[in-house]
C-alpha cells in the first residue's frame, strides 16, 4: 500500500495537537538556551553590552539606513574581530539549540510511540548523549545547504531535501554522521514527492515568520530573538514529526 502524504500530514497534526504543551515547552526551552548562549555565554562582552543597549527605535532606524558593508568598513580591526567572534558564537548557539530540539523531540516521539511516558526535561537529558553526533551532523548539513543556497539556489533546496532525514536516521538507527547522510540521500530522492513539499514548506514558513516578526524589532532584542527562535523551533518540530512518521512507515514497507 503506497504511503499517502495526506495521511502523514494528518498524523503530524494529530501528534502536534495532542502534545502541544510539551512541544511548546521544548521549543521555548531550546530557544532560551540558544539566545542565552549566543548573547551571554559565548558572545564577547563588548558586543553583548552593545546589543542589549540597542533598545530604542531611533538607533534601529539609523542602522537600517546604513548597509551592512558600510558598517563593516567603518569598524576598527578590533571591532571586526569582535563581530566575527559574535557571529561564530551565534552560529554555535544556534547549532546547540537545534541539536537539543532535534534530539529531545525525537526522543520524546520514540518514547510516546512505544507507549512510554516521558517529560520534556527527561527527553532533553536522554538526548544529551546524542548531542555531539547531532551537532556535527547539523553543522555539516547546514553548511552544505547554505553554500548551495549562496552559490545557486536550486542545489541548496535539493541538498536540504537530501539531508532532511539524516537527524531522524542518526537518532533512531544510531548511525554515524556520514552513514546517516548517505542513507538520507537515498531515501529522500526515492521518496521526493513526499519529502520535498514538507521541506520547502517549512523553509517558506520560516522566511514568513522572519518577515512577520521584523516589525517587533522595536522591542527588546533578546525578546525578539527568543520569539524568532520559538516560532522557528515550532516549524522545525512539525517537520521532524512528519519526517519521523514517514521514516517509520518506510521501515515497515
Copy the grid coordinates of residue 184.
538520507
In sequence order, the 6+-apart residues with CB closer than 8 A to the CB of 241 are: 12, 15, 16, 105, 109
At 112-122, the pLDDT tens digits run: 988 898 999 99
> Residue 19: phi, psi to the nearest 5?
-115, 30
| pLDDT of res. 48 | 45
Compute the 3-state secondary structure of the chain and give helix, strand, coil in percent, each to the nearest 5: 85, 0, 15
Q: Which residues contact 40 (CB under 8 A, 6 or more apart)?
A: 48
- Domain range summary for the chain, segments of one domain joined by +: 5-252
Residue 80 pLDDT greater than 70, yes or no: no
Instruction: Confirm if 107 and 126 have CB atoms less than 8 A apart.
Output: yes
Q: Which residue has the higher pLDDT, 125 or 68?
A: 125
Three-state DSSP state, 174: coil
9-33: average pLDDT: 93
pLDDT in tens, 122-169: 999 998 888 999 999 999 999 898 888 887 778 889 999 999 999 999
pLDDT at 65 over 50: no
Whole-number percent of the chain with pLDDT over 90: 47
Point out the least confidently predicted range of 22-36, 210-224, 228-242: 210-224
> Residue 187's pLDDT band (boundaries 50, 70, 90)?
very high
In this prediction the pTM is: 0.83
Residue 85's pLDDT band (cuts 50, 70, 90): low
* pLDDT for position 68: 47
pLDDT of 107 reads 93
Average pLDDT along the chain? 82
Is pLDDT at 39 greater than 90 in this prediction? no
> Which of 39-48, 90-99, 170-179 shows the lowest per-residue confidence on average (mean pLDDT)?
39-48
The C-alpha atoms of residue 113 and residue 25 are separated, in whole angstroms, by: 19
Among 3, 71, 1, which residue's Cα sits nearest to residue 242?
A: 3
Q: Is 24 exposed, middle or buried (0-12, 13-18, 19+ CB in 10 A)?
A: middle
pLDDT classification of 10: cutoffs 50, 70, 90: very high
Amino acid at each position: 500500500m503506497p504511503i499517502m502524504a495526506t495521511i502523514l500530514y494528518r498524523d503530524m497534526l494529530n501528534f502536534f495537537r495532542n502534545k502541544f504543551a510539551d512541544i511548546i515547552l521544548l521549543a521555548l526551552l531550546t530557544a532560551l538556551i540558544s539566545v542565552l548562549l549566543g548573547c551571554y555565554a559565548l558572545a564577547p562582552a563588548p558586543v553583548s553590552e552593545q546589543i542589549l543597549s540597542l533598545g530604542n527605535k531611533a538607533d534601529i532606524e539609523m542602522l537600517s539606513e546604513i548597509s551592512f558593508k558600510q558598517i563593516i568598513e567603518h569598524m576598527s580591526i578590533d571591532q571586526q574581530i569582535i563581530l566575527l567572534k559574535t557571529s561564530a558564537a551565534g552560529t554555535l548557539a544556534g547549532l546547540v539549540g537545534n541539536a537539543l530540539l532535534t534530539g529531545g523531540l525525537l526522543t520524546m516521539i520514540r518514547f510516546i510511540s512505544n507507549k512510554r511516558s516521558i517529560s520534556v526535561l527527561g527527553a532533553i537529558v536522554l538526548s544529551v548523549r546524542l548531542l555531539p553526533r547531532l551537532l556535527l551532523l547539523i553543522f555539516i548539513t547546514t553548511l552544505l545547504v547554505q553554500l548551495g543556497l549562496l552559490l545557486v539556489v536550486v542545489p541548496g533546496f535539493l541538498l536540504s531535501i537530501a539531508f532532511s532525514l539524516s537527524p531522524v536516521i542518526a537518532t533512531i538507527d544510531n548511525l554515524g554522521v556520514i552513514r546517516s547522510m548517505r542513507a538520507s540521500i537515498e531515501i529522500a530522492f526515492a521518496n521526493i514527492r513526499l519529502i520535498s513539499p514538507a521541506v520547502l514548506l517549512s523553509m517558506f514558513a520560516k522566511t514568513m515568520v522572519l518577515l512577520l516578526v521584523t516589525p517587533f524589532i522595536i522591542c527588546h532584542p533578546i525578546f525578539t530573538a527568543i520569539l524568532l527562535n520559538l516560532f522557528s523551533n515550532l516549524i522545525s518540530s512539525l517537520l521532524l514529526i512528519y519526517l519521523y512518521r514517514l521514516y517509520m512507515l518506510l521501515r515497515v514497507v
